[in-house]
Amino acid sequence: MHVKIGVMAIQGDFREHKQMLQSLGVEVVEVRLPKHLEGLAGLIVPGGESTTIGMLAREYGLERAVRERVQEGSLALWGTCAGAIWLAKEIPQYPDQPRLGILDIAVERNAYGRQVDSFEEDLHIKGLDRPFHAFFIRAPVILRVGEGVEVLATHHDEIVLVRSGKVLAGTFHPELTHDSRIHQMFVGLALS
Ligand code: GLN
């Protein structure tokens, strides 16, 4: 089945997401402006620097355009790491940080501190039959999830992957592995 998925290509590791999607036979569009959202079934917001992504997405008009499309239910959305921060309703440390803010979660940026800011771990993820090897890089922590937000994975009691309808958010980087199962899961959501 033909499906077109966008990758927000403002900043961060969008190329890796693009390659992963292309390996699944998906048509991929780099999204920098609202007009690039046309015809997309889903959009991935990559890891990177959430303040930069947030400021530029607002300036380019993407924040409003994505919010509209997701709220009307025509666009699936997945934020990884900085992308998850962009989606979050609450960032208690930085309440004024520009963001989409439509997913009812609260996040803390760089929550693992400087000493262990990057690590890898096998995760058990709801819906996957084998563990997923996950890379965390200066990752945020999901402090709280609202009603209707399902927790799909945790790591030492910390929430690392959630879903609400067609919106996914995770604090790790599946695009840096050769394991495309979460990308497949997202394409499935986009087609649903
Ligand atoms: N530390 C970054 C931020 O707070 C996120 C890191 C990442 O996306 N790998 O924006």
pLDDT tens, residue order, the chain (192 aa): 689 999 999 999 999 999 999 999 999 999 999 999 999 999 999 999 999 999 999 999 999 999 999 999 999 999 999 999 999 999 999 999 999 999 999 999 998 876 568 999 999 999 999 999 999 999 999 999 999 999 999 999 999 999 999 999 999 999 999 999 999 999 999 999
Angle among Cα 13, 77, 119 to the nearest 5 degrees reads 45
| Structure tokens given for 184 | 């497949």
**Euclidean distance between the first and the last CA atom of the chain, given in angstroms as a whole number:** 12
Please check whether residue 31 is in contact with residue 43, taking contact to mean a CB–CB distance below 8 angstroms: yes
Pocket of ligand 1 (CB under 6 A): 47-50, 81-82, 85, 109-110, 137-138
Q: Which of 17, 36, 155, 173 is catalytic?
A: 173
Q: Which of 16, 90, 108, 175 is catalytic?
A: 175
Distance CA 48, CA 82 (A): 5
pTM greater than the 0.85 cutoff: yes
Is 133 designated active site?
A: no
| Structure tokens given for 162 | 């959630």
The CATH label, of 3.40.50.880, 3.10.180.10, 2.60.40.10, 3.40.50.1240, for the domain at 4-191 is 3.40.50.880
Domain range summary for the chain, segments of one domain joined by +: 4-191
